Structure 1
Amino acid sequence: MADDDDTRSVVYIQSSGVDTPQRAATPFFLAATAAAMEWDVKIYFTINGPTLLKKGVAENLYVKKDGKNGKGAPLSHFIEQARDLGVELLCCQPSLDLNDLDYEELIDGVKMIGGAAFNSLAAKASAVVCF
């Protein structure tokens, strides 16, 4: 990613979790697209969003239950695609507590941030998109 002041940035907020798999992949897909456009991209997981980051969950979570092509790709495919393009995954600590999760249960590479850090990111971003 370029670090100059002209770099566009976007923060996607993922508040949906494993209970709504149809809402799970879109933030990763859009984040990967923005990263491919050389934007600075972050996904912030809050409310139920952190449940998607629990180790072993994404490999077994499918956005599409069935259809012409069966189940389609698991959520892990979209996560890997986004991370490979440099998308940063950020998590809200109180939301871990809300979902009875510990940091050690999350996939590698997730960063914890607090409310002040999130507000700073959101205020500086070119766009903030919520899911």
Structure 2
Amino acid sequence: MIRCKRVYEAAADEDGQRVLVDRLWPRNKRKEDLQGQWLREVAPSDELRRAFHQGEVDFAGFTQRYQQQLAAHPEHWYPLLDLAAKGPLTLLYAAKNTEHNNAQVLAEWLEDELERRGPGSSPVCYAT
């Protein structure tokens, strides 16, 4: 199962492996409090991230462009497939929008890839 969770939420046993998937370190978050790893390379490019946050690209356009970036660099996200295949995986993000963020797009991408490999689970994103 792949979940998405804000990095500011407390870690839980059901999180399994926790991976921060943002390019920038979250504000007011100490690195020792992460309780997981940080894979900044899997995040959208700075250019795409800025365009989305500034409203130059809507979520559909962001999703399409981010998926193109993911397709061009499987070496960035492929290690996440192994983690997801072994047990629960929680993708951490800092965005306030719990429905439209890079972790959600990445979770769906990974689920699609897992389905190609065999039975998968549905991504779960939740907010506080």
With the length of structure 1 as denominator, give the TM-score of the two structures.
0.33
Larger helix fraction of residues: 2
Which one has a bigger Cα radius of gyration? Answer: 1
Higher relative contact order (CA 8 A, sep 6+): 2
Larger strand fraction of residues: 1
